[in-house]
Structure 1
Amino acid sequence: MDDWQWRAWVGRPAGGRHGAAFLVTDTRLLTCAHTVHGMDEVHVGFPGLLEDLPATVVHRGDWRRAGDTGDVAVLELDEPVPLAPARLAAPEDVHVTAGDGEFGIWGFPRRSDGGERHATVTTSPRWGREREWWELRTKGSDALEEGYSGSPVYDTATGEVIGMVTNAELYGDRADLGWMLPLDSIRRHWEELDDLLPLRWLTAEARRELRGLLAGVRFTDPLAADLRRVTGRPVLEEFRSAWGSVRYVAEGWPEERLVRYLMAVAQHLPEPGRFAAWSARHLGGAAPAAGPRTGPASVIVRLEPLTFDKAVDVTVHTWIDGAAGPSRPTERVPEKRVKATVEAGVAELAAALVGREWMIEFAVPEGWLGKPFEQWYVDPRKKILMRQYPVVVRDVERLRPGSIRRDQAHHRWRLLAERGRSDPRPIACDTPRTGKAFQHLLEAHVEFCVLVYGSRPVKSWLTAALNNGIPVMLWTRTPCDAPSHKDCRGHRVLDELTAAIGDKHPDELPQVALALRKKALIAPENEPHCGRDLTLLWDDPSRLPDPPLAMEV
């Protein structure tokens, strides 16, 4: 049998050859999205073997116009063909072999004979562009022309495909420089390709089943937090799906890390029972035993004041191991009953967190951020105050999925997590209080992620900080009314707070605030202390329980 029988052309049903394609299963071919743009039905042919076969475009990448990423399309034949598919290289091998050899491509430029033309090219991962394409350079007198799009780039010695031609820099009708998508890029845009690649983790059957279980599962902020914990590194890549993040761990970390991450991913699946069955079949003894898991946990109180009747919608959630836990239905109550309703809700749901390290998060409107929530009761019957636990406040606006404030906070929190230390920006009590100047300051300095105030911030400062996505702020609620600020209370408190959190990781700040509040309890009452009346806004955007439907209508 001919080893090169998987090479094909693609064109319109009415006739003509517009580009190349290559067989990857007995019914499916890969080509460029721009080659089949505007078409749902095409014809393909295998020169000298099978011609004019009808096929359907069953998948397209994100490509819509020249320069877009995702220039990938998948064609489905009406019937299987008795031809051997292309042999695909392992993605990790591509990075080793590329640049050390010559590769073949072919196309169907406009010629009177309608036949294919061949060219020899070189490429290398060092010649990458935007983590999407690799540059192709032709050898000798060979040239690229229109009609080469969709051609596989294959090792002329082994026949293994390492990528696909997408475009060229044409001068007239020819070019000596073009671009290809390596297999790593193609599989980001068509994840089913992983079922066909000779990967070295798990078995082919286990990977195929796992990819099916994760189909349609997005890579969310909670998953990003899980990934960060498992790998111990910042997440720099924007994954298109949960499967993409699983592949990242599997191909860059020991198997033990993969198992840990899969256990975390399972908490976010709509049918965890199916994953448990898969794990029993394919992970065997490697899977951790079922049982209570450690990790960050919270009671999250969400308060949404209404614009009429002075009423407030109160919802109390729990957040356990990176996922939403038990919650109470939303209650609409008058403002005067908010405190009692919250205390009852927290007391009820705290039972799910007993024995863990946990905290209390108040997601409230901007005007409520300065309320003394740590003075409310976690157990109203026994009169136990919430200040026995870390208490933080959050901007409730950021809990809404379409919020620009949430988007801004996501970017700054990510920068903060990657930095790994707070590096706070001090805001002295005698700083000029014009809101416009403060807005410009924050907008110009994207590296400002933690603000520490010398006294209670004015409304314009809070608004500017929330609009710019500042994820962490600390202040004492006591105003500084000193006639001179040379050695005032505000400056002393500011210095203490800044020193207390300067080198701390952002994840440590709720515990730091708890410790400062406890120290303030035994400090002399006539002396200022940075833990007295302390508010910590700590807004990790990955901690997002599903919003009650009533709040989103």
Structure 2
Amino acid sequence: MDDWQWRAWVGTRDRGKLGAAFLVTPTRLLTCAHTVLGLDEARVGFPGLREDLPAKVVARGGWRRLGDDGDVAVLELAEPVPYEPARLADPEDVPELAGGGRTLGVYGFPIRSDDNERYATITTDPHWLVKQEWWQLQTAPGYALEEGYSGSAVYDTATGTVVGMVTNAELGDHDRAELGWMLPLSRIRTHWEELDDVLPLRWLTPDARGDLRRILDGIPYSGPLAADLERAAGRPPREEFRSAWASVRYVAEGWPHDPDRLARYLTALGRHLPGARRGKLDAWTARHLRPAPGEAEEEPASIIVRLERLTFDRSYDLTVHTWINGAEGPSQPTVRVPEGEVRGAVQDAVARTRQAVIGRRWMIEFAVPESWLGKPFEQWYVDARNKIPMRMYPVVVRDVDRLRPDSIRRDQAHQRWRVLTGRGRSDPRRVGCDAPRKGSAFHDWLEANTDYCVLVYGARPLRSWLTAALNNGVPVMLWPRTSCTDAAHHDCRGHRAAASLTAAIAGAPPADLPRIALDLRKEALQAPKDEPHCGRELTLLWDDPSRLPDPPLAMEV
């Protein structure tokens, strides 16, 4: 956030700069509806970076004239810009981040001979509420608001965290103002609900939330829904909702530790939906709010071991993260480890980290370079002092390249993961020992079949196969770490192993695969040592792209 590239101006070629805006996705910016009044298209500029870019006005709030609420507009660029969007606060945190006399920053583009932006320091507070819509702003001594500040983000000057947007000011002498108003994020999202897709909310994962919002997009909040909501909440709400989505958000955020309440309300809401949407909502609920026997289902926590190979020597950067309730938890600092000492360093770091997940349902994820995907990580120790192996918990591997924000592999995996979770079940594709040996043929097969999301190998896959599958974004693969040496492959050891693995996972929800792999490994421990078993020396690549801890700073240099 130290380069603040998300700040922008908005205007037209004829009238120049009319106000401010801020980037919230690589293609979308927020500004005020009154700033682009009467416009379907505008121009946008990022000072000192890119200027005069075309942008369409793709959404507006209910603002029509001075005093109206909903003074929000959304601009969409023709192409993504390579700048980090603004860091938005969780709306529940805004009162603490913005109140108590804390100083905040705003910026604008008033008419000046130098045509540059200007900055001001302001304060605000939740109790400076105006008509349940705006918070009053007070400029610090020596600063003033002017025309051209409308649409500015209101942000913490130390971190860049955005808490709201300037809408207007009480202009006095010389068209300068000491008082103004802002819309906090909690109000902006009532006027543009897609903002919820990029806010750091604490319930569900961003992908699950976004899918649910799209299912409910355009569904109004009605009298029958109000009655259902009162039954689910146990009390009438204190506010009137603009949409069905807003009422769902009210339940999810009002009772964050009670997913059963949300499930009950969604079941009631589904009865009021058209047939196609009702089916989509039922499928979504089954995937994300499916209760386990005797308890509500929760996303498994994880210890995520991240290994990045250095290019200048045989060493690795090691970071151990935790992933809890859909967000990053405590992490260990990055350390540089020689290749021969990686196992010991990982075991030590896991031992220091495991307290954050003990007592939860948890797993261990190894995000490692491609050449390490076949290592027997489940045989490493989760407790080296007592010789307790990691295989007592679900252990999966991931492609570390997909953890990089700019990775094409990650983008491809995200697309196939959507297909997989949308389907709601594993439809595994077997890769026989006699499959085409050339990586190019295997790549073409996968590229032509974008719905192939789960691959099962009967023997250790060729390196070219793995590369092709990773490049095509295949998110789930299973294989034994043994080779098939049979001369013929119509009924070889590899074909039998692949058939057993396919039968074990066919139809299973994607989220259940780490647990199924754990059960297969346990079965293999009891099987006769001289007989093959598909759970013996089993590797599961399970790469959910939503479980994405922030990259350590040391790895981004």
Answering whether residue 545 of structure 2 is matched by residue 545 of structure 1, we say no
Provide structure 1 residue ranges, at least 5 long, that are not aligned to the other structure: 1-9, 15-25, 41-61, 89-190, 195-206, 240-245, 265-291
Partner of residue 54, structure 2? 64
- Equivalent-residue separation in structure 2 for 1:399 and 1:87 (angstroms): 38
Answering whether residue 443 of structure 2 is matched by residue 439 of structure 1, we say yes
CA offset at residue 251 of structure 1?
3.7
Partner of residue 415, structure 2? 411
Match of 1:485 among 482, 489, 495: 489
- Equivalent-residue separation in structure 2 for 1:473 and 1:422 (angstroms): 11
1:1-400 alignment to 2 at 5 Å? 28=34, 31-34=37-40, 37=42, 64=54, 70=58, 210-211=186-187, 219=198, 225-226=204-205, 250-251=245-246, 253=248, 255-257=250-252, 259-260=254-255, 295-400=299-404
CA offset at residue 233 of structure 1?
5.6
Counting matched residue pairs gives 359
Match of 2:533 among 529, 534, 552: 529
Residues 471, 32 of structure 1: alpha-carbon distance in 2 compared, 3 angstrom cutoff: farther
- Equivalent-residue separation in structure 1 for 2:200 and 2:441 (angstroms): 32
- Equivalent-residue separation in structure 1 for 2:387 and 2:314 (angstroms): 27
TM-score (norm 1): 0.57
Counterpart AA for 1:64: P
- Equivalent-residue separation in structure 2 for 1:501 and 1:536 (angstroms): 12
- Equivalent-residue separation in structure 2 for 1:234 and 1:253 (angstroms): 9
- Equivalent-residue separation in structure 2 for 1:521 and 1:503 (angstroms): 25
Residues 223, 466 of structure 1: alpha-carbon distance in 2 compared, 3 angstrom cutoff: farther
- Equivalent-residue separation in structure 2 for 1:30 and 1:498 (angstroms): 56
Contact 1:296/1:358, CA 8 A, preserved across alignment: yes
- Equivalent-residue separation in structure 2 for 1:237 and 1:63 (angstroms): 33
SS in 2 for 1:524: coil
CA offset at residue 305 of structure 1?
1.2
Contact 1:30/1:74, CA 8 A, preserved across alignment: no
Q: Among the aligned pairs, what percent are the same residue?
A: 51
Partner of residue 274, structure 1? none
SS in 2 for 1:70: strand
- Equivalent-residue separation in structure 2 for 1:73 and 1:253 (angstroms): 20
CA offset at residue 229 of structure 1?
6.0
Contact 2:197/2:206, CA 8 A, preserved across alignment: no
Counterpart AA for 1:210: S
Contact 2:379/2:390, CA 8 A, preserved across alignment: yes
Q: Which deviates the most, 319-328 or 391-400?
A: 319-328
- Equivalent-residue separation in structure 1 for 2:503 and 2:509 (angstroms): 13
Provide structure 2 residue ranges, at least 5 long, that are not aligned to the other structure: 1-11, 17-31, 46-51, 72-163, 168-182, 219-240, 260-295
- Equivalent-residue separation in structure 1 for 2:213 and 2:459 (angstroms): 33
CA offset at residue 483 of structure 1?
1.2
CA offset at residue 352 of structure 1?
1.1
Residues 75, 423 of structure 1: alpha-carbon distance in 2 compared, 3 angstrom cutoff: closer
SS in 1 for 2:58: coil
CA offset at residue 440 of structure 1?
0.5
Match of 1:402 among 398, 402, 406: 406
CA offset at residue 488 of structure 1?
1.1
1:477-516 alignment to 2 at 5 Å? 477-516=481-520
- Equivalent-residue separation in structure 2 for 1:414 and 1:426 (angstroms): 21
- Equivalent-residue separation in structure 2 for 1:325 and 1:39 (angstroms): 37
Residues 395, 222 of structure 1: alpha-carbon distance in 2 compared, 3 angstrom cutoff: farther
Residues 247, 421 of structure 1: alpha-carbon distance in 2 compared, 3 angstrom cutoff: farther
Answering whether residue 425 of structure 2 is matched by residue 421 of structure 1, we say yes
CA offset at residue 28 of structure 1?
3.8
SS in 2 for 1:491: helix
Deviations 1:181-223 (A, max 9, x none): xxxxxxxxxx9899xxxxxxxxxxxx96624699988627997
- Equivalent-residue separation in structure 1 for 2:309 and 2:316 (angstroms): 4
CA offset at residue 335 of structure 1?
0.4
- Equivalent-residue separation in structure 2 for 1:397 and 1:519 (angstroms): 32
- Equivalent-residue separation in structure 1 for 2:523 and 2:257 (angstroms): 41
Query: If you compute each CA radius of gyration, which structure gives the higher value, 1 or 2?
Result: 1
Counterpart AA for 1:33: L
Residues 63, 419 of structure 1: alpha-carbon distance in 2 compared, 3 angstrom cutoff: farther
Partner of residue 53, structure 1? none
CA offset at residue 432 of structure 1?
1.9
Residues 233, 501 of structure 1: alpha-carbon distance in 2 compared, 3 angstrom cutoff: farther
- Equivalent-residue separation in structure 2 for 1:221 and 1:465 (angstroms): 31
Residues 254, 396 of structure 1: alpha-carbon distance in 2 compared, 3 angstrom cutoff: closer
SS in 2 for 1:492: helix
- Equivalent-residue separation in structure 2 for 1:393 and 1:349 (angstroms): 18
CA offset at residue 434 of structure 1?
1.1
- Equivalent-residue separation in structure 1 for 2:13 and 2:541 (angstroms): 59
- Equivalent-residue separation in structure 2 for 1:465 and 1:478 (angstroms): 19
- Equivalent-residue separation in structure 1 for 2:337 and 2:545 (angstroms): 27
- Equivalent-residue separation in structure 1 for 2:308 and 2:60 (angstroms): 45
CA offset at residue 70 of structure 1?
2.2
Residues 233, 519 of structure 1: alpha-carbon distance in 2 compared, 3 angstrom cutoff: farther
Contact 1:63/1:70, CA 8 A, preserved across alignment: no
TM-score (norm 2): 0.56
Partner of residue 148, structure 2? none
Residues 346, 85 of structure 1: alpha-carbon distance in 2 compared, 3 angstrom cutoff: closer
Counterpart AA for 1:388: M
Contact 2:63/2:70, CA 8 A, preserved across alignment: no
CA offset at residue 85 of structure 1?
5.4
Residues 232, 437 of structure 1: alpha-carbon distance in 2 compared, 3 angstrom cutoff: closer
Contact 2:217/2:245, CA 8 A, preserved across alignment: no
Partner of residue 243, structure 1? none
CA offset at residue 534 of structure 1?
0.3
- Equivalent-residue separation in structure 2 for 1:457 and 1:516 (angstroms): 19
- Equivalent-residue separation in structure 2 for 1:503 and 1:425 (angstroms): 12
Residues 493, 420 of structure 1: alpha-carbon distance in 2 compared, 3 angstrom cutoff: same
